[in-house]
Amino acid sequence: MTDDVAAQIAELEQQERALVLDSFTADDAWHLGCLVVELARERALPIVVDVRRGPQQMFHAALEGSSADNDSWVQRKVRVVERFATSSYLAGLRSRARGQTFSEQHQLPFQEYAAAGGGFPVRVAGVGVVGVLTVSGLTQADDHALVVEALAAFRDTAGA
């Protein structure tokens, strides 16, 4: 593992420890999704935004310039977060650190699981992972960064 990958993994693990909410209601899912859309519109980002609580899709928006392919990426990133309870970006980096692709390491089909940046677990203190916030349409690093930015802003305004 290179020092760069190790540093990225440590940073992403810290983000996941820090971005924990006190609760996550249906209204929270709506407000979180709207916050991501607002950030994306301000920057004219061609993304799809998806928020889930448990298995239920609570929010979905496809902004100008996004495509149905982004919806497919969202589904695949969500599966990674739900299965491994970690961000899709972190899951991919952990495999890379072992010198393998995510698909090789876990023997999961690439068309169903995408360990690329943009899927992030929604955690509630004392409960654990209760949902997933996902963005698709940018580079994986930018998808991840947008999700982290939005979740941090949401946490700070929600009083978590």
The 3 state secondary structure assigned to 117-144 is CCEEEEEECCCEEEEEEEEECCCHHHHH
Q: Which residue has the higher pLDDT, 74 or 1?
A: 74
Per the structure, the complete domain to which residue 24 belongs is given by 3-158
126 and 91 in contact (C-beta within 8 Å)?
A: no
Between 97 and 3, residue with greater pLDDT? 97
When pLDDT is cut at 50, 70 and 90, the band that residue 3 belongs to is confident
Phi, psi of 155, rounded to the nearest 5 degrees? -60, -45
Write a three-state SS string for 17-28: HHCEECCCCHHH
DSSP states along 22-75: S---HHHHHHHHHHHHHHHHHTT---EEEEEETTEEEEEEE-TT--HHHHHHHH
Q: Residue 28 and residue 105: Cα distance in Å, rounded?
A: 35
Say yes or no to pLDDT of 34 above 90.
yes
Quote the pLDDT of residue 97: 93
Other C-beta atoms lying within 10 Å of the C-beta of residue 4: 8
With 90 as the cut, is the pLDDT of residue 30 above it?
A: yes
Count of domains for the chain? 1
CATH classification of the domain holding 25: 3.30.450.150
Confidence of residue 1 (pLDDT cuts 50, 70, 90): low
Note the residue count of the chain: 160
